[in-house]
Amino acid sequence: MKKKPLCEKSVKEWVNSFPILDKIMALDPVFWENPQYLPFTKQLESSLLVSKNQVNKALKNVAAFSGYVEKAFPETKSSKGMIESDLVDIVSMKKAMENFWELNIAGRLYLKKDSHLDVSGSIKARGGFYEVLRHAQDLAVENGLFKPGSDVSIFQTRKFKDFFSQYAIAVGSTGNLGLSIGILGKRLGFNVYVHMSADAKQWKKDKLNSIGVTVIEHRADYSKAVEQGRKQADTDPNIYFVDDENSKNLFLGYSVAGQRLKTQLKEQNIHVDDTHPLFVYLPCGVGGAAGGITLGLKQIFKDNVHCFFAEPTHSPCVLLGLMTRQHERFCVQDFGIDNLTAADGLAVGRASGFVGKVIEHLVSGVYTLDDDNLYRLLAMLKDSESIYMEPSAHAAMIGPVRLFQDVEGKKYIEKQGLSSMMSRATHIVWGTGGSMVPKEIQKADIDMGKHFLSYSGQ
């Protein structure tokens, strides 16, 4: 074995610097408070790689693209092509969780149902759609077929479909990003290649095959699938690579959610201010979705929003990246962690360096959880609220439990001076996927969850 393979240090030296690594490497669930977390000042905001201006522009672009989305996907007619999810009070689920874990979750608990977003049934309908539509628009502009600011709904026409069919899009995915890019890419007329990691569920590959997407299966994990997609795109200038690890547009597509949530909170009369803190729990793969939404929320709610990321104990790449501040330079396997989890959307061994650097001072902390709990929560949510979400999405659900249960979580509340206002807190669990999962798989997931619920209390 090489002595110092990891950014000039051995594993042992890293463990000496960060004792919590012992637990992480033993696959024990941890709650890590981010020591780099800073007040969201003007100065901090202006130092970030993504600006408020860019997010506002993205917000306008998304609104403009809705003209196309409404025509191309008639199921979005009622929302006029704006793909947005509901924010729902899940008071029965809160009670179920409080009973099961024997604690009190102070404040109210809401679910943001990106699990049920139109067209692609996951959070990827934000980032993936934005990226593909931006690319389509760029191509049309470059070729003199379209002027920025005019009506994008003409992308629906035969002429544009024929034009886009000369081009291809490639992407690496654990499943949902491929679905999102594949569904929209094909509808626009592009050829689409999805490089799937070994974790990808069969039904996601079948669905893509059925709409004419070329699915390339890899036996390795997500990082490898991305690498292969990138390689393929390098060979042909007509292939555009959607780079989940580095794409700013993908990130901007997610960040738009901040402004959207603000509107929704207002509509529902939910206050977020100096005496009403907002806690948001986000499942995290490479970090793009969670990171984009965190930035969007921070720009609006500043220090009154507290964002926590959730990762499986077997795939804590963003936790490792943020803690060591090495971001993409580490993969979980470097620390002897296998990246094997039932949470396919989170089975990512290497974090995005771009995202890590944007959010390193914005995210309040990261916690990890076991797969067993993903299934317990899945069965509990179905039973209490009649809502199904895929296992990955439930990484967020345990957030409020962990905030009040773990020593580090309690410390965070105290240190931020929030103890006296927790009864007025709002907790939002960001549900990230599930509505497209076939019924028989939903049933198997629920049965598995019931099984875990019946024989263990933790």
Ligand X SMILES: *Cc1c(COP(=O)(O)O)cnc(C)c1O
Residue showing the smallest CB distance to ligand X in the complex: 285
> Which member of 341, 392, 426, 435 binds ligand X (CB under 6 A)?
392
> Which member of 379, 393, 397, 437 binds ligand X (CB under 6 A)?
393
Q: Which two tokens stand for residue 274?
A: 């100096």
Contact between 249 and ligand X per CB under 6 A:
no
Residue given tokens 């034009």 in the structure block: 163
Footprint on residues 194-223 left by ligand X (CB under 6 A): none
Q: Which two tokens stand for residue 278?
A: 């907002």
Contact between 123 and ligand X per CB under 6 A:
yes
Binding mask 405-434 for ligand X (x = CB under 6 A): ---------------------------xx-
Q: Which is nearer to ligand X, 192 or 289 (CB)?
A: 289
Q: How many residues bind ligand X (CB under 6 A)?
A: 20
β-pairing, 191-196 vs 278-283, is unpaired
Footprint on residues 429-448 left by ligand X (CB under 6 A): 432-433
DSSP H or E stretch at residue 219? none
Closest by CA to 319, choosing from 307, 332, 338, is 332
Closest by CA to 87, choosing from 367, 255, 280, 292, is 280
Relative orientation angle of helices 248-255 and 257-267, to the nearest 10 degrees: 0
Q: Which is nearer to ligand X, 380 or 425 (CB)?
A: 380
Q: Which is nearer to ligand X, 272 or 290 (CB)?
A: 290
Amino acid at 8: E
Q: Which is nearer to ligand X, 66 or 122 (CB)?
A: 122
Pick the stretch among 19-27, 48-56, 122-130, 187-195 that binds ligand X (CB under 6 A). 122-130
Q: For the chain, how are helix, strand and coil distributed in percent, rounded to 5?
A: 55, 15, 30
Contact between 176 and ligand X per CB under 6 A:
yes
Closest by CA to 451, choosing from 380, 370, 347, is 380
Pick the stretch among 18-26, 82-90, 117-125, 229-237 that binds ligand X (CB under 6 A). 117-125
Three-class SS of 386-423? CCCCCHHHHHHHCHHHHHHHCHHHHHHHHHCCCHHHHH
d(CA 268, CA 334): 46
> What's the chain's Rg over C-alpha atoms?
21
| CA angle centred on 429, ends 425 and 433, rounded to 5° | 165
Q: Which is nearer to ligand X, 155 or 222 (CB)?
A: 222
CB of 150 to ligand X, least distance (A): 31
CB of 130 to ligand X, least distance (A): 13
CB of 60 to ligand X, least distance (A): 23
Q: Which two tokens stand for residue 116?
A: 């049920």
Relative orientation angle of helices 288-301 and 52-72, to the nearest 10 degrees: 120
CB of 390 to ligand X, least distance (A): 6
Residue given tokens 């296992």 in the structure block: 391
Footprint on residues 275-334 left by ligand X (CB under 6 A): 283-290
Q: Which is nearer to ligand X, 192 or 286 (CB)?
A: 286
Residue given tokens 């899945």 in the structure block: 378
> Which member of 122, 191, 223, 426 binds ligand X (CB under 6 A)?
122
Q: Which is nearer to ligand X, 304 or 432 (CB)?
A: 432
CB of 246 to ligand X, least distance (A): 12
Q: Is 181 left (phi over 0), alpha (psi -120 to 50) or beta?
A: alpha
Distance of alpha carbon 259 from the chain centroid: 17
β-pairing, 239-242 vs 168-173, is parallel
Closest by CA to 70, choosing from 139, 136, 152, is 152
Q: Which two tokens stand for residue 249?
A: 């547009």
Q: Which is nearer to ligand X, 107 or 349 (CB)?
A: 349
CB of 289 to ligand X, least distance (A): 4
Q: Which is nearer to ligand X, 156 or 294 (CB)?
A: 294
CB of 420 to ligand X, least distance (A): 33
Q: Which is nearer to ligand X, 258 or 285 (CB)?
A: 285
Pick the stretch among 134-142, 212-220, 325-333, 385-393 that binds ligand X (CB under 6 A). 385-393
Amino acid at 296: G
Footprint on residues 329-368 left by ligand X (CB under 6 A): 345-346, 348
Contact between 255 and ligand X per CB under 6 A:
no
CB of 437 to ligand X, least distance (A): 10
Contact between 253 and ligand X per CB under 6 A:
no
Binding site for ligand X (CB under 6 A): 122-124, 176, 283-290, 345-346, 348, 390, 392-393, 432-433
